[in-house]
Amino acid sequence: MFFPEAALGRLLAAQPTLADELGRDWDAHRAMVEGELQAADAEGEVLEVEVATPALLAAMLADDGSDADPDPGPRLAWPPGRNDPCWCGSGVKYKKCCLPRGRERGGVGPTPVPVPAPAPAPARRPGPASSERVLPRRPGGRTRAR
């Protein structure tokens, strides 16, 4: 369940104890949701993001103990393409918004393969520091350089 920024702010203001479950702010909430989506995707699940509706928010704020579930919110296909707008509604491309947030949060994704250290560069002979090379002159009658 994903809460848009204004809805999450209202919910956390009314029930601050939910910060542990939903995230302390909207950035933490988006990172948490993205991390969970990436982990589930790694397990091969087909995923959708359900956006919280005003009715769901009102029901959570009322906290009257009723078991009636409000209508489900809109569902967004996940994952979006890297160059598609982000699912969170920020208007930024997915690759610049929530994709890196989920990776930072839980280290979800393939384990990085260690890259071997490059071989040391061969030792250079002392010589001019510029890009010009000095060619030794061969014995003979040539007076011009090629």
Assess whether the previous peptide bond of 100 is cis (omega < 30° from 0). Answer: no
Model confidence over 2-32: pLDDT tens digits? 888 888 888 888 888 888 888 898 888 888 8
Model confidence over 108-130: pLDDT tens digits? 444 444 556 666 666 666 655 55
- Is the pTM of the predicted complex or chain greater than 0.75? no
CA distance 8 to 6: 6
CA distances from 143 to 8, 136, 146 (A): 83, 13, 10
Largest CA distance in the chain: 105
Calculate ∠ Cα 32-11-108, nearest 5°. 0
